[in-house]
Amino acid sequence: MNRPRPSNCWSVAWLPAVFVASVACGQESQSDSKYAVHDMTRPQPPVVDPGNPSTQPHAGTAPSDAVVLFDGRDLSQWRTEGGDAGWKVVDGVIETVPHRGDLISRQSFGDCQLHVEWMVPKGLRPKHPAGANSGVYLMQQYEIQVLRREDKPTYTDGMAGAIYGQHPPLVAADLPKGEWNTYDILFTAPRFNDDGSVKTPAYCTVIFNGVVVQNHAEIRGRTAVGDPPTYEKHPERMPISIQDHGDAIRFRNIWVRPLGE
Ligand code: MG
C-alpha cells in the first residue's frame, strides 16, 4: 500500500514565537489558496478551551449500531503489517509500542462516522521536540493529525486536528498531557472513475473535544510529508489505521458507524 511515512515530519524550523500571538481567522486559515504545504508563515489558529469534554455525551461508550474497534478489552480488531497487533493494552487502554508499525483495523470502511479518544501521558518525552505525534488515518490514506504540542508551535497543517499537510484546524482545541481528547470524524470517501481519475474528492468534518476544527473540508489527496497531495485510485473501503510515529500515545473507545450502506 502506498502509504505516507512521516520520517521527517519535524525537519522544518520552528515558527518564531511572535506568531503565537498572531492568530488568524479560522475559516481563512482553511483556505488552500496562498500557503504552501507546511508553510511556517501561516498564522496559528486561535486557542479554544473546550470546557470539560470528559463529561460530554460524545465521550465514553459506543452507540448501539457502531462497529466497536476497541472497548478496553483486546486488540482483536486490529493488526500491524507484521501480522498480529504489536501494540499493548494496559488497564483497558491501548498503548502505542513504538516502532512496531501502524495499528490497522481488520475491517474496511468507506463513508463513516469515527470516534477515537487519545491521550499523551504526563511525563512522556516526545521523540520530536514539536510534540508527541500519532495520527488517525481514514482508509490508510488521509491523516487527521494527533499531536500534543510543546511550548513552541509547529506548522499549522501539522497540528492536532489538522488534515495533515492540507488544512490546519480552525481552532486549537487540544487538552494538556494526561487528559483524554476526543475525535469525532465524519468522513466521505473519494469516488474514482474507471480510468482512475477523481470523480468526487473526499470530505472530512472533525469535532475535537466537542469543537469543530474541520468543517466539511475537501481532502485534496493522500496526506504526506512535504509533498503536494495527489489522489491514487484505491478500493471503496479500506482499513482505518493509527500511526506509529515513535511516541507512546494512548487510545481508547474506538468505534465506527458506516454511513450510506
Ligand atoms: Mg502524525
Alpha carbon of 160 to ligand 1 centroid (Å):
8
Q: Is the Cβ–Cβ distance between 161 and 30 less than 8 Å?
A: no
| Residue 77 is assigned to a structural domain of this protein | yes
- The pLDDT score that the predictor gives to residue 261 is 61
Q: How far apart are CA 128 and CA 215, in angstroms?
A: 29
Alpha carbon of 190 to ligand 1 centroid (Å):
21
| Residue 3 is assigned to a structural domain of this protein | no
Alpha carbon of 246 to ligand 1 centroid (Å):
10
| Residue 20 is assigned to a structural domain of this protein | no
Q: How many CA atoms lie within 13 A of 228 on its CB side?
A: 4
Residue 187 has pLDDT above 90, yes or no: yes
pLDDT, tens digit, 9 for 90 and up, residues 21-73: 333 333 344 445 588 888 888 888 888 888 875 555 445 689 999 999 999 99
| Mean pLDDT across the chain | 84
pLDDT, tens digit, 9 for 90 and up, residues 189-227: 999 999 999 999 999 999 999 999 999 999 999 998 877
Alpha carbon of 156 to ligand 1 centroid (Å):
13
Residue with cell 488544512: 167
Residue 183 has pLDDT above 80, yes or no: yes
Q: How many CA atoms lie within 13 A of 213 on its CB side?
A: 34
Of 12-21, 55-64, 157-166, 172-181, where does mean pLDDT reach its minimum?
12-21
Alpha carbon of 194 to ligand 1 centroid (Å):
31
CATH number at residue 192: 2.60.120.560
Alpha carbon of 195 to ligand 1 centroid (Å):
31
- The pLDDT score that the predictor gives to residue 101 is 92
Of 5-14, 75-84, 130-139, 148-157, where does mean pLDDT reach its minimum?
5-14
Residue 78 has pLDDT above 60, yes or no: yes
pLDDT, tens digit, 9 for 90 and up, residues 105-135: 999 999 999 999 999 999 888 888 778 899 9
pTM of the model: 0.84
- The pLDDT score that the predictor gives to residue 59 is 55
| Residue 43 is assigned to a structural domain of this protein | no
Alpha carbon of 136 to ligand 1 centroid (Å):
8
Q: How many CA atoms lie within 13 A of 38 on its CB side?
A: 17
- Grid cell for residue 121: 501521558
Q: How far apart are CA 236 and CA 225, in angstroms?
A: 24
Alpha carbon of 133 to ligand 1 centroid (Å):
5
Residue 118, domain extent: 67-258
Alpha carbon of 60 to ligand 1 centroid (Å):
24
| Residue 30 is assigned to a structural domain of this protein | no
| Residue 194 is assigned to a structural domain of this protein | yes
| Residue 1 is assigned to a structural domain of this protein | no
- The pLDDT score that the predictor gives to residue 22 is 32
Alpha carbon of 245 to ligand 1 centroid (Å):
6
Split into its structural domains, the chain has a count of: 1
| Residue 207 is assigned to a structural domain of this protein | yes
Alpha carbon of 78 to ligand 1 centroid (Å):
19
Beta-carbon contacts of 7 under 8 Å, excluding residues fewer than 6 positions away, are: 225
Alpha carbon of 175 to ligand 1 centroid (Å):
17
Alpha carbon of 224 to ligand 1 centroid (Å):
10
